[in-house]
Amino acid sequence: MASLKLARFLLNSNRKFPNQFSCFTKTSCNLQRRLFSDVTQQSSINLSSSPPTSPPPFHDSTTTSGGAGFGRRTPISSSLNESELLKFSSIAETWWDSQGPFKPLHVMNPTRLAFIRSTLCRHFRKDPCSARPFEGLKIVDVGCGGGILSEPLARMGATVTGVDAVEKNITIARLHAESDPVTSAIEYCCTTAEKLVEEQRKFDAVISLEVIEHVANPAEFCKSLGSLTVPNGATLISTINRSMRSYAAAIVGAEYILRWLPKGTHQWSSFLTPEELVLILNRASISVQEMAGFVYNPLTGRWALSDDIGVNFIAFGTKNSQ
């Protein structure tokens, strides 16, 4: 009797498998198409596919690019995803609350900066023992949010431009930076990477952390980052891998179990694997030189750099000099 049930169950589940499988392949196909189509999709803002998610208290770095706030729905050519913008705009005030929804970013920040510091110091031959090693470097922080990366970069001596598509974020960032003469020199603009390209801005280093997974068209986005980088300049991107472990950690763990992030912060299917990121960066004439993973130690409550790029990772690339 029991074995009969089991057999039926197996049969049923077998029947289900192809479906599931096709479902998987479908998403990955979508992704592939998205990644590798060089045809510029005019206005990839896909409002239709993802209805404005209900009250979205959200987290994690802001979506980049895009029009000034989501109030302006003029179909602009942008790699931006408008529903993502909406998420972040609703929690902009909490950017600098280190115990608030952006807490994971605050905790992770020193580790990300350690990687940025070491790679940029090596690439630009700056003294790693200096307190302001980035003196003389022009850096853009694409998707700067409330400025939690821009401010440390400015303290490390860089001439920083912070851009974000969410107007509220820029307001918060400006307000926060005012209190210190060093950070008040940061140039914050509510704009997109694409617009900066149009304005023909160039930077020694282009940094965009925890942004690409919120972007509608990563390939286009990377192209813009590439165009913003001077020849022999540096590009740094961090994001979450599309692996089973990242699903367990970043979505089930961080959003549902630990509740570090509001549910729905991340769409697993829009994550990129390191290989995909290397490929699309290559197409943007950036060759990835170094990658590192971030691993969380639940005992110390801190993040550390590691070789394990299975979940959170950061890539450092240099712009080819043609």
Partner 1 sequence: MNRIVAKRVVTTFHSFKVVRRGLSNDAVIGANSPSTNDQVNTAYKEKLDLTNDPYDIAVVGGGMVGMAFACALSSMPLTKQLNVAIIDSNPALGKQDNIKKDDLPDPRVSTVTPAAISFFKDIGAWQYVLQHRHAYFDKMQVWDYTGLGYTRYTASDVETDILGCVVENKVLQSSLLSCLQKNTEFQKTVYPSRLTSMTVGLPTQPNSATSGIAKLDLSDGNSLFAKLVVGADGGKSRVRELAGIKTTGWNYSQNAVICTVKHAVENHCAWQRFLPAGPIALLPIGDNFSNIVWTMSPKEASDCKAMSEDDFLKAVNHALDYGYGPHPQSNSDGYSGDHSWEVPPNVIELASERMVFPLSLKHAKDYVANRVVLIGDAAHTVHPLAGQGVNLGFGDASALSKIIADGVAVGADLGELSLLKKYEAERKPANLMMAAILDGFQKAYSVDFGPVNILRAAAFQVAHYVSPLRRNIISYATGRQKWPLLF
Tell me the pairing of strands 138-142 and 203-209: parallel
199 annotated as a binding-site residue? no
Closer residue to partner 1 (CB): 31 or 156: 156
The reply to whether 299 sits near partner 1 by the rule CB under 8 A is no
Closer residue to partner 1 (CB): 156 or 163: 156
Cβ(157)–Cβ(218) below 8 Å: no
| Window 84 to 113, contacts with partner 1 (CB under 8 A) | 96-98, 106-107, 109-110, 113
From the list 75-83, 124-132, 197-205, 272-280, the region that binds partner 1 by CB under 8 A is: 124-132
Edge-to-edge strands, sheet with 203-209: 187-189, 159-163, 138-142, 203-209, 229-240, 312-319, 286-297, 302-306
Closer residue to partner 1 (CB): 154 or 311: 154
The reply to whether 132 sits near partner 1 by the rule CB under 8 A is yes
What is the closest distance, in whole angstroms, from the C-beta atom of residue 179 to partner 1 in the complex?
4
The reply to whether 285 sits near partner 1 by the rule CB under 8 A is no
The C-alpha torsion from 283 through 120 and 125 to 309, rounded to 10°, is -80
Tell me the pairing of strands 159-163 and 187-189: parallel
DSSP codes of every residue in 212-259: GGG-S-HHHHHHHHHHHEEEEEEEEEEEE--SHHHIIIIIIIIIIIS-
The reply to whether 154 sits near partner 1 by the rule CB under 8 A is yes
Cβ(111)–Cβ(294) below 8 Å: yes
Closer residue to partner 1 (CB): 234 or 286: 234
Tell me if residue 206 falls in helix, strand or coil: strand
Give the number of residues in contact with partner 1, rule: CB under 8 A: 26
Alpha-carbon separation of residue 250 from 27, 35, 268 (angstroms): 19, 22, 8
279 annotated as a binding-site residue? no
The reply to whether 114 sits near partner 1 by the rule CB under 8 A is yes
Classify residue 38 by its DSSP letter: -
What is the closest distance, in whole angstroms, from the C-beta atom of residue 96 to partner 1 in the complex?
5
Distance between CA 299 and CA 191 in Å, rounded? 40
The reply to whether 162 sits near partner 1 by the rule CB under 8 A is no
Question: Which residue in 69, 185, 71, 173 sits closest to 132, CA to CA?
Answer: 185
Residue of 34, 155, 263, 283 that binds partner 1 (CB under 8 A):
155
6 annotated as a binding-site residue? no
From the list 24-32, 60-68, 127-135, 207-215, the region that binds partner 1 by CB under 8 A is: 127-135
Tell me if residue 7 falls in helix, strand or coil: helix
| Window 171 to 190, contacts with partner 1 (CB under 8 A) | 175-176, 178-181
Closer residue to partner 1 (CB): 187 or 267: 187
Q: Which residues contact 302 (CB under 8 A, 6 or more apart)?
A: 107, 111, 296
176 annotated as a binding-site residue? no
* Residue stretches of the annotated binding site for Mg(2+): 210, 213-214
Q: Which residues bind partner 1 (CB under 8 A)?
A: 96-98, 106-107, 109-110, 113-114, 117, 129-132, 151-156, 175-176, 178-181
In the annotated binding site for S-adenosyl-L-methionine, the residues are 112, 143, 164, 209
**Which parts are annotated binding residues?**
112, 143, 164, 209-210, 213-214
